[in-house]
Structures are given as structure tokens and as C-alpha cells.
Amino acid sequence: MDFRLDRLATVYLADPIQRRRSATKQSIPILMYHAITEKDETGLHPYFQTATSPSVFSAHMQFLHEHAYRTMTLAEAVAVLCDGTLPLRSVVVTFDDGYSDFFRHAFPILNRFSFTATVFLPTAYIGTVAKRFKGMACLTWKEVCELRKCGISFGSHTVTHPQLRTLNVNEINNEITNSKATIEDNLGESVDSFSYPFAFPDGDASFAQTLRNVLAGAGYKNGVSTRIGLARRDDDYYFLRRLPMNSLDDLTLFGAKLRGGYDWLYRLQYASKFIRASAG
């Protein structure tokens, strides 16, 4: 196993401390997956890897099943967080980038355990035939519609997956509203959920407020980000925190993440972003 300082700190320090504390706020783990593939990410630091092998993903879902976790859609999770009725051992499973390996590898595993998931689509790369994003094939609209009939939910991941912070307000609005409209046209139902592409700029409060206003104006009701940690009742429901997953997440680390043992990393993540934003 590749050396992971974040794993050591989580498993042997943060998680044991977390397990001794009594929970004071309702929270839910929102798992963030990308590609479910055997993609070789050798040379990339474990923290930044995004591919999860089918065998590891299967082990993660088996863990959830054996520990009596219930999967929820993002909309369901927000609703129960709002009213304080979150069931114990609830989890949201999400996928960014709309890769076709979700159809081939992830969905059959989810279906085996009667689990649901929410998939976020960058609509410029979803077509009548498979298009490629970051060198990998994406879902087609036919596959998206089939998955929707089987209970998989879909949300927006913008149109072209840009660094939204580098765009002006009109360009941001186009990315957000056009992607929503495209998914709604193909599915014939409203789209309420949004996933922020790239690292979320925590240190830029003005941008975050602008983005929130655009999302609300476009009709979105909830969203997720790359901010690390459990999603909590007092979070901004447009930028909920998630737990990043990859092939190097063994079951010990996976369990610790579900319990909130990985949340300590958010403070470092936030401080790093704030320092970079201040320097810029």
C-alpha cells in the first residue's frame, strides 16, 4: 500500500478521538467518486488520485451493506438534514464527470445491494454517441435515461467543466443554466442538484456568494463541493462537504471516513485555500 500521511493521521489519531466524542450535530457522509476503473495513477500522490478500481468500489459497497447503511439521494439527504430527522447510518453516493464506466462497473454493483447514487454530468461531453472527457469515455443520453429509470439520480457538473472562478458572471450563469436545461430536456424532469468542478475556493467569500446567487436563481436547491468532511446540518446546502474516494481507500480508512475521522483535513484544506486567495 502506498504511504499516506493522511491515512495514518486519520486511522490512528483523528478517528479514535472522534469515536470517543458524542455527536452533537446531525451529519451524513457524501462519498465522492469519479472513474470506476483500473486506471493506472502511479506517480500521482495518493491524496490527488480519483480513480477507484471496480474491486475496491465493490468492497466499499459491501462494507456499507454489512454495516446496515442506507443510501439516499442528495435531495433526500438535504431534506432530512433540514428537519432533523436524519436516520442513523445514512450515506449519499455521488459520482462526478459522467464517465461511462459508471454504467459498466458501478451501477451493477450498486444494483446488487439495492443502492442508489447521484451522478453529476458535464453536459458538453454527454451525447448520442460516447464522447471523451480527460481521455475517458462518458455516458450517452441513452444510458443516462436507462439509469434514471433504474433509480439513479442526475445533477449538473456544468457544461464544459471549467474553473468557474476564472469566468465572469454571465459565463458562470451560462455554464450553470444551460447544463441544467440540457439534462432536464433529456430526462423530462427537473434537476435540483449541482456539483462544483475543481477545488472549491473557500478563501473567496465574494465568489462563493455570487455563485450561490446564480445557483438559486437558476432553480437549483442543493449542491456539493470538494470541501472535505461530513455534510452537516449547519452547512450551506449549495456547497455541502464530501469525502473523496479512490483505489487506495482500504476498508479501515473507509470506515474512519464514514465516522468523521477524515474531517480534520478540512481545516488544512481551508487554510491552504485561504492563504492562496490572500496571496492572489
pLDDT in tens, 182-218: 999 999 999 999 999 999 998 899 999 999 999 999 9
Cα 240 from Cα 227, distance rounded (Å) = 7
pLDDT of residue 1: 46
The answer to the question of residue 111 being in a domain is yes
Q: Which grid cell is 106?
A: 458501478
CATH of residue 110's domain is: 3.20.20.370
**CB within 8 A of 125, min separation 6: which ones?**
98, 131, 132, 133, 138, 161
The answer to the question of residue 156 being in a domain is yes
Return the closest-CA partner of residue 260 out of 5, 1, 15, 6: 15
The answer to the question of residue 268 being in a domain is yes
pLDDT of residue 92: 98
**CB within 8 A of 2, min separation 6: which ones?**
46, 248
The answer to the question of residue 138 being in a domain is yes
Parent domain of 166: 5-16+28-279
The answer to the question of residue 95 being in a domain is yes
Cα 164 from Cα 156, distance rounded (Å) = 13
Share the mean pLDDT of the chain: 93
Return the closest-CA partner of residue 183 out of 227, 225, 147: 147
pLDDT of residue 4: 81
The answer to the question of residue 9 being in a domain is yes
pLDDT in tens, 155-186: 999 999 999 999 999 999 999 999 999 999 99
232: pLDDT strictly greater than 50: yes
Classify residue 41 as exposed, middle or buried by CB count within 10 Å of its CB (0-12, 13-18, 19+): middle
The answer to the question of residue 228 being in a domain is yes
**CB within 8 A of 24, min separation 6: which ones?**
none
Return the closest-CA partner of residue 61 out of 95, 86, 17, 96: 95
pLDDT band at 85 (very low <50, low <70, confident <90, very high): confident
Q: Give the percent of the chain with pLDDT over 70.
A: 94
pLDDT in tens, 1-56: 456 889 999 999 999 998 887 554 689 999 999 999 999 998 888 888 999 999 99
The answer to the question of residue 23 being in a domain is no
Q: Give the percent of the chain with pLDDT over 90.
A: 83
How many structural domains is the chain composed of? Answer: 1
